[in-house]
Structure 1
Amino acid sequence: LERAIPVHQFILTKSVSRTLTEYVVLTATAAALKQMEKRGFPVEPGESVRYVLMDARARDSERKVRVAEFLEGNETPDAWEYIKLLCRSGQTLLAPFGYTEDKLFAMCEDLSDLSITNMPERAIAIQEDYKSAGESRSKARGGVGYKKPWRIIDETATEETAAEF
């Protein structure tokens, strides 16, 4: 992620279903509750806690997550844990097409050597004049059943650059 995305964009909000003492395993939510209580802000069931995943495998609550209210702005989120969350959500949408969480995660691992800073500036461009194939009351454009794609690969990109994708 190379700090291309501000840390506050990684904040997760979880609704608390039990007290801190009822947690047996140090989950991310339990770690956040522990941080809140340690600083004098106990969170009760039914309330929400907001945090950023810092090191999902850590056994220490201070290293595992950072409560949103205590963010300093220089933290580095656990990028792969967020990718796992995206893959889990992606499975929900793409399961009918044979994509599992594991398959999506493997695809992300294959792309792990890509860098945002190495992407060509105009590798993908939005097609401006897409029109629906049929009548529609909606002003939405693009997607399935439309004559032109919603995105195209820039023809000016070199073969070497295109191979990076």
Structure 2
Amino acid sequence: MRYLLSFLLVFGLVLTAVADENDHMMMDKNVIMDRETMIKGLGMIKKGQPFVYSLDSYHLFGRAKEFNLTAYQFDFFPKEIKVKKGDRVRLFVASTDVKHGIFIKEYNINVAVEKESVKVIEFVADKPGEFEILCSVFCGLGHRNMKAKLIVQK
């Protein structure tokens, strides 16, 4: 009972902390927040840009494996991201030149990333295997060549 009350208290505090002046509401475990955003892949800071951040029980407890993933015409860096089954993964996805998208079919991830901005994507790597990371926003003639790989080891 103590753990349940503690969890509810922490969850309530987190919800209160992420609300901004525009009163964005929680939808599908994602909260859109306006705040200072660090673009790790670009080494820049952008103030006031919205980004998607997963807010669920995995975020509240435990640590995530964090990776910077940079999208640019017409590739991703790094080309491979390796994790173990069961790991909580947090991707800081940056776009350096034009709007790109991050699509990982098997994990139901499809997020657009504006030019010189970052999106934070968080999920649990619960399916072992090798999965393609594709660009889901047409970004020019080399768009179809934009591929990286998520490797989830057993």
Query: Under a length normalisation based on structure 1, what TM-score does the superposition of the two structures give?
Result: 0.21
Q: Which has the higher helix share?
A: 1
Larger radius of gyration: 1
Q: Which has the higher strand share?
A: 2
